[in-house]
């Protein structure tokens, strides 16, 4: 009975060697160091390899031997739906993917969504065959970040938290950037401001009514939030206001629990209801600002004539719609995070990389109406 071209047992480097009566090294060389053997022999090897259905050295075995996985792990602790609906996050991933591509590395999305228990997510982190990790915008004390640290691999943290020992950091100066924007808004004459932020914690921490899309933020909640980037931006607004002699009561902070338009609209409505004298609605994210603008339009409130609206991120749609915002280089953040992993600094020391932001004076901010 003739050999099947696709033998029961998958071909391995060893079986190929046996078949061809050469050593395993030679086969290995045929794939990894073509200059170490005669072209003829190599040709013959590749030919029988194909015929035996051998697609080349097993990646896993190679990884074990070389101690290189050829991939970096990306851990995003927010639900995927959030990240995939946020252009800033998406751009970040694109930038990271780009450098991975250039470095010939894979990008492993490590699954740690809320749909699994912490234990299950943990196993995903622990079983990721990667050479390093990027952790994107994790809250303080995040269990997965903790786990990643324990793996002891090179680690780059993006956006937050900014103080992970041993890890490099890529981010922006959230507080200063937001302050600059707030200085501008205050400079226009606004004295009662609404501030819309993305969620600062678990929904049920904030509101007994689990169905609410948005809620007023208490000072305790603000103090205790593990979402550093958001709270820094809020602090930036406060900085500008107190510099102008405005107290905390002039600022109405509302958090939106979801990343969508409905939630953003609800947050805007809540802010306006809580303090009807608000003349400016600042938002810690463009998605929120766009949702707020839609909501205001539906309510017949004209921007910027009757209400100033500002965002944060500088996503394309926001820029297109003339939103006054702060633009941050999301794509570049991804690239930096990638290079830090692919071409680590010679010192081996963690790097802190604060990228520049830019105030964009759009068409949605003006003097109080």
Partner DNA sequence: GTGAAAGCGCTAACAG
Partner DNA sequence: CTGTTAGCGCTTTCAC
Q: What is the DSSP string of 188-230?
A: TT--SEEEEEE--S-HHHH-S-TT-SEEEPPHHHHHH-S-HHH
Task: Find the shortest distance in angstroms from Cβ 147 to DNA.
Answer: 15
Q: For the segment 209-248, give every residue that binds a copy of itself (CB under 8 A).
A: none
Task: Count the neighbouring beta carbons within 10 Å of the beta carbon of residue 191.
Answer: 15
Q: Are strands 214-216 and 251-256 parallel, antiparallel or unpaired?
A: antiparallel
| Nearest-angstrom CA–CA distance, 250 and 237 | 11
| The two three-digit tokens of residue 367, written as one number | 């003097």
| Nearest-angstrom CA–CA distance, 108 and 217 | 36
Q: Does 242 bind DNA (CB under 7 A)?
A: no
Q: Does 45 bind a copy of itself (CB under 8 A)?
A: no
- Interaction partner, residue 152 (a copy of itself, DNA, none; CB < 5-8 Å by kind): a copy of itself
What separation in angstroms does the CA of 38 have from each of 41, 50, 126? 5, 18, 43
Q: 20, 45, 107, 155: which one contacts a copy of itself (CB under 8 A)?
A: 107
Q: Does 23 bind DNA (CB under 7 A)?
A: yes
Q: 56, 189, 356, 369: which one contacts a copy of itself (CB under 8 A)?
A: 56
Q: 104, 165, 210, 300: which one contacts a copy of itself (CB under 8 A)?
A: 104
| Nearest-angstrom CA–CA distance, 125 and 129 | 9
- Interaction partner, residue 118 (DNA, a copy of itself, none; CB < 5-8 Å by kind): none
Q: Does 29 bind DNA (CB under 7 A)?
A: yes
Task: Find the shortest distance in angstroms from Cβ 193 to a copy of itself.
Answer: 29
Q: For the segment 129-168, give every residue that binds DNA (CB under 7 A).
A: none
Q: Does 143 bind a copy of itself (CB under 8 A)?
A: no
Query: Shortest CA distance to 71 belongs to which of 111, 101, 28?
Result: 101
- Interaction partner, residue 100 (DNA, a copy of itself, none; CB < 5-8 Å by kind): a copy of itself
Is it true that the peptide bond before 304 is cis, omega within 30 degrees of 0?
yes
- Interaction partner, residue 360 (DNA, a copy of itself, none; CB < 5-8 Å by kind): none
Q: Does 69 bind a copy of itself (CB under 8 A)?
A: yes
Label residue 153 exposed, middle or buried (CB < 10 Å: 0-12, 13-18, 19+).
middle
Q: Quick one: which segment of 36-44, 91-99, 174-182, 356-364 binds DNA (CB under 7 A)? A: 36-44
What is the helix (H) or strand (E) element at residue 43, kind and residue range?
helix 39-52
Task: Find the shortest distance in angstroms from Cβ 9 to DNA.
Answer: 7
Q: 2, 35, 204, 208: which one contacts DNA (CB under 7 A)?
A: 35
Under 8 Å between Cβ of 328 and 355: yes
| Nearest-angstrom CA–CA distance, 338 and 334 | 6
Q: 22, 212, 235, 262: which one contacts DNA (CB under 7 A)?
A: 22
Q: Does 65 bind DNA (CB under 7 A)?
A: yes
Under 8 Å between Cβ of 282 and 237: yes
Give contact residues for a copy of itself (rule: CB under 8 A): 10, 50, 53, 55-56, 58-64, 69-71, 73, 80-81, 84, 90-91, 93-94, 97-98, 100-102, 104-113, 115-116, 120, 123-124, 126-129, 147, 150-152
């Amino acid at each position: 009975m003739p050999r099947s071209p696709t033998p029961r047992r998958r071909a391995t480097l060893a079986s190929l060697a046996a078949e061809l009566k050469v050593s395993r090294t030679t086969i290995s060389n045929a794939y990894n160091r073509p200059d170490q053997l005669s072209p003829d022999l190599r040709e013959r090897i590749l030919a029988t390899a194909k015929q035996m259905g051998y697609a080349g050295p097993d990646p896993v075995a190679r990884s074990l031997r070389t101690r290189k996985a050829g991939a970096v792990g990306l851990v995003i602790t927010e639900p995927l739906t959030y990240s995939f609906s946020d252009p800033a996050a998406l751009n970040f991933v694109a930038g990271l993917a780009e450098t991975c591509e250039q470095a010939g590395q894979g990008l492993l999305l490590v699954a740690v969504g809320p749909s699994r228990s912490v234990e299950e997510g943990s196993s995903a982190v622990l079983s990721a065959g990667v050479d390093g990790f990027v952790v994107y915008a994790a809250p303080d004390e995040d269990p997965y970040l903790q786990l990643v640290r324990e793996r002891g691999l090179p680690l780059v943290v993006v956006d937050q938290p900014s103080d992970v020992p041993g890890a490099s950091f890529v981010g922006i100066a959230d507080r200063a950037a937001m302050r600059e924007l707030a200085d501008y808004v205050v400079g226009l004459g606004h004295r009662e401001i609404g501030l819309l932020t993305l969620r600062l914690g678990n929904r049920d921490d904030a509101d007994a009514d689990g169905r609410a899309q948005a809620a007023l933020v208490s000072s305790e909640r603000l103090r205790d939030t593990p979402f550093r980037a958001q709270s820094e931006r809020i602090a930036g607004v406060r900085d500008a206001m107190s510099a102008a002699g405005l107290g905390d009561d002039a600022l109405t902070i509302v958090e939106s629990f979801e990343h969508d338009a409905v939630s953003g609209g609800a947050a805007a409505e809540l802010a306006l209801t809580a303090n009807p004298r608000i003349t400016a609605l600042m938002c810690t994210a463009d998605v929120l600002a766009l949702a707020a603008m839609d909501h205001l339009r539906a309510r017949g409130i004209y921007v910027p004539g009757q209400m100033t609206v500002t965002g944060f991120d500088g996503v394309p749609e926001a820029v297109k719609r003339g939103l006054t915002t702060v633009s941050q280089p999301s794509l570049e953040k991804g690239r930096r995070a990638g290079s830090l992993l692919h071409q680590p600094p010679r010192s081996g020391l963690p790097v802190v990389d604060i990228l520049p932001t830019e105030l964009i004076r759009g068409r949605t901010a003006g003097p109080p109406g």
